[in-house]
Homo-oligomer: A and B are copies of this chain.
Amino acid sequence: MEPKEKLLEHLRESVVLTTSEATVVLDSFKERKLKKKEILLFTGDVSSHMQFISDGCLRAYYMDEEAKEHVVQFGVEGWWVNDLYSYLTQTPAKQFVQALEPTIVLQIHRDALQGLYDEIPAMERFFRLKFEKAYVSLQDRTINAMSKSAEERYLEFRSKYRDIEQRVPQYMVASYLGMTPEFLSALRKNLK
């Protein structure tokens, strides 16, 4: 399926759009292709687009003071990725966003999106709903991160995102789950 078809289908899972609204919306997005390992957003740049993943897989991560990477988020087809803090506050990003596979994203500039919010109420509703859900699932992750053991977190991740586990390196999963790759490796051994 074409990237923009995917996006439209994705939007219509949550809100109602007329044909003419759909045209306006889709025309606001530009396609961007990324090679494996290519970086979509660099630390220090200001994020100025929202990005819908049409194909492929990305991660958002940051480097701490000791230059260690921490994976904040994965994204696959049908998800949105960004350094949202940078996007919302227009300050330099603290995160990188990087393709882990050949990837296609659809980007909309924040000015254009602001225009859509004013013109097409369904778009404002779409993002209101999107953020509500995102908040709830992030809260779930936070609670897990703080109160569950490494093994429990891994098992939950595996049952929830089996597809992602198979597509990304194990050390990135470890990082996403807040443990060392060595510990995850040992833990996995014990499971079998």
Interface residues of A (CB under 8 A from B): 62, 64, 70, 72, 84-85, 88, 117, 121, 124-125, 127-128, 131-136, 138-143, 145-147, 178
Contact = CB atoms under 8 A, between A and B. Distances in A.
B72 A139 contact: yes
A127 to B, nearest CB: 5
A104 to B, nearest CB: 25
Contacts of A146: 70, 145, 178
A108 to B, nearest CB: 15
Contacts of A131: 128, 131-132, 134-135
A153 to B, nearest CB: 10
B145 A142 contact: yes
B84 A132 contact: yes
A127 B131 CA distance: 9
A70 B143 contact: yes
Contacts of A64: 147
A6 to B, nearest CB: 23
A141 to B, nearest CB: 6
A142 B132 contact: no
